[in-house]
Amino acid sequence: MIERYSLPEMDEIFSDVARFSRYLEIELHALDGQSIVGTVPSAVASACRARAPKVDETFVHAVSQREAITNHDVAAFVDVVQERIGGPESAWVHHGLTSSDVVDTAWCAMLRDAAEVIDAALGELVGVLVREARNHRDTPMIGRTHGIHAEPTTFGAKVALWALQVDRDRRRMKAARFTVAVCKLSGAVGTYSNIDPRVEDHVAQAMNLRAVPSTQVVSRDRHAEFLYACASIADTVEMIAVELRHLQRTEVSEVREGFGVGQKGSSAMPHKRNPISAETLSGLARVVRGNLQAGLQNVALWHERDISHSSVERIILPDTATLACYMVKRLTRLVANWEVDATRMTENLEATRGAIFSQSALLALVEAGMSRDAAYRAVQEASRTSHESHTHLRDVLATMPAVSSVLSAARLEAAFDTSRVLRHAGRAVDALSELD
């Protein structure tokens, strides 16, 4: 991942040092397991663990130099480990294993750890959204469909629905963590031809993974599920980001991203305050979704394995995990520091001079005995007149004989009562109690 969007907690999981550390951990656990079942002398396993090299940048460089000769990264890794351990004991390193035993188990451990980091970030985002939803439970604003003013809603209801969706994404990530937290040390085509299955069980237990049946590789639908969970998170983040971009438009100006001291919105126009975080999040969502497509294509491999998936995964697995986490954290900061303009929300509610209560007026007329079609036509005509004459819809309706003959002034007034329309809007916020 490029530095701009990298995260230290993800770098610690996916760096070359971390990856080779996982490889070495697996090799040593495998030796321990083989010593337990009697394949490898216990003294050999103990000596290899005692003389195991420190995995640092120097070690990584040595593997890179060796790979230039072997043209095989795992073989190069094993060569360097054996060289550093030395003695006859090192010959037992990688005994009975194939490269995928090490690589796939390492990937699964790394993805499990990444899922836990993402889960924690999602928990923080849910918490901030819940707080904001409850703070704005009774903050009225206009609801929009097709980008057009529809009926009143509350900002709290809008944010509550976001929180509930993020929580669903969190559950998807937890499920993906379970799916991907697996282990395989079953040899060249997964038949345990040269390794005891009990060794796989030992490594799985030592690494807090589950041993699963496999071919030479762990089935890539597991990785695709992890990538889907990340893509679903990215979609949710983008959904929120797109809404915030609309709400920050000059003509709307209901919610604005926080603006730091010394921040500049434009290199040319000093007045500009742009929704840069929301726009960045929209863009990054495209990358994460694209990576899912590549991950799905990795599922279909030749026979018991090929390596067409390998080059793809080196890019998309760490990048997707990192981007998903970065997006969640950046959205959390955005929500925690946004500026909600309740006054502007009220102004926008009143901008159409009562047109947003057209359904309430329609239903009042139907309840008063008018046919639905006649009531619809009356309110539709009144809405056009209201718009053209810049007159409140309630006042236009009051002048129409067809309306005043069936509807009292009090009943007409009640149809335009915001509190009545929003009397149940808090249900979405109340649903957040299930997240506590």
Q: Kindly list the catalytic residues.
A: 146, 266
Question: How far is Cα 151 from Cα 357, in angstroms, rounded to an integer?
Answer: 7
Q: How far is CA 16 from CA 69, 85, 227, 343, in A?
A: 19, 20, 21, 52
Query: 174: phi > 0 → left, psi -120 to 50 → alpha, else beta; which?
Result: alpha
Cα–Cα distance between 1 and 11 in angstroms, integer? Answer: 9
How many C-beta neighbours within 10 Å does residue 97 have? 23
Token pair 């539709």: residue: 380
Residue linked to tokens 């010593």: 35
Collect all residues with Cβ–Cβ distance below 8 Å to 246 and sequence separation of at least 6.
Answer: 147, 252
Structure tokens that stand for 299 in this block? 């599922």
CA–CA distance, 205 with 207 (Å, rounded to integer): 5
Burial group, residue 298, by CB count within 10 angstroms (0-12, 13-18, 19+): buried
